[in-house]
Amino acid sequence: MPLTDEELAELTRRVGYAVLQIQELEETLQVHLVRVYKADEKAAWREVEAMFEKTSKQTLGRLFYAIRDKGKCPPNLLSRLEHCVEERNWLVHRSRRENPKNVRSDAKRSEVIVRITAVVNEALSLMTTFQELTEAHLIERGADRATIQARAAEIRREWDQ
């Protein structure tokens, strides 16, 4: 049975929102990777900007491998991030092909929506965790929390433009 226009709109809205949250997680991981693992206190602003530029081209999977290979991230967090990469790959690359009939059944579509919602929730949770880890690292290095938060707000405004 074909989807109604409303059902299709709701499903694509959820997929789109999930992809946007994954992109937000990627940006958070890019900042974490540069600030925690690549840039030191002596790095000039231009060097840091170049690091951000290079890192901004990396996908969630590549960011996961880069963070994992540093060997300093807690194993439980790496496990969660790896699972998020797998779910992102399912959503973006395989969900339609693996489940073409699932979206036509109310019960199966509900299962797909639950899975998509879980991707969103985990991306948001990981984003928060990595933001906190990055902030803690910067404070440990002598940065002021208010300055970090002001800069984060400025970056968010730039990204939203």
The mean-pLDDT minimum among 34-48, 79-93, 101-115, 128-142 falls in 34-48
Question: pLDDT at position 42, please?
Answer: 67
Residues 62-67, mean pLDDT to the nearest whole number: 95
Question: pLDDT at position 51, please?
Answer: 80
End-to-end CA distance of the chain: 41
For 62, the token pair is 């590549």
Is there a contact between 123 and 84 (Cβ–Cβ < 8 Å)?
A: yes
Question: pLDDT at position 1, please?
Answer: 66
Structure-token match 């990595």, residue found: 130
Which of the pair, 158 or 23, is modelled with greater confidence?
Answer: 23
Question: pLDDT at position 147, please?
Answer: 84
Could you give the CA distance from residue 30 to residue 132 in angstroms, rounded to a whole number? 14
Question: pLDDT at position 101, please?
Answer: 73
Residue 4 has pLDDT above 80, yes or no: yes
Is there a contact between 29 and 161 (Cβ–Cβ < 8 Å)?
A: no
Confidence grade of residue 100 (pLDDT, cut at 50, 70, 90): confident
Residues 115-137, mean pLDDT to the nearest whole number: 95
pTM over 0.75: yes
Question: pLDDT at position 152, please?
Answer: 75
153 in helix, strand or coil?
A: helix
Burial class (CB in 10 A: 0-12, 13-18, 19+), 141: exposed
Residue 116 has pLDDT above 90, yes or no: yes
Could you give the CA distance from residue 161 to residue 45 in angstroms, rounded to a whole number? 22
Domain boundaries, the chain: 5-160
Each residue's pLDDT tens digit, 35-50: 888 767 666 667 777 8
Instruction: From residue 143, give the alpha-carbon distance in Å to each of 10, 43, 82, 128, 158.
Output: 43, 15, 30, 19, 21
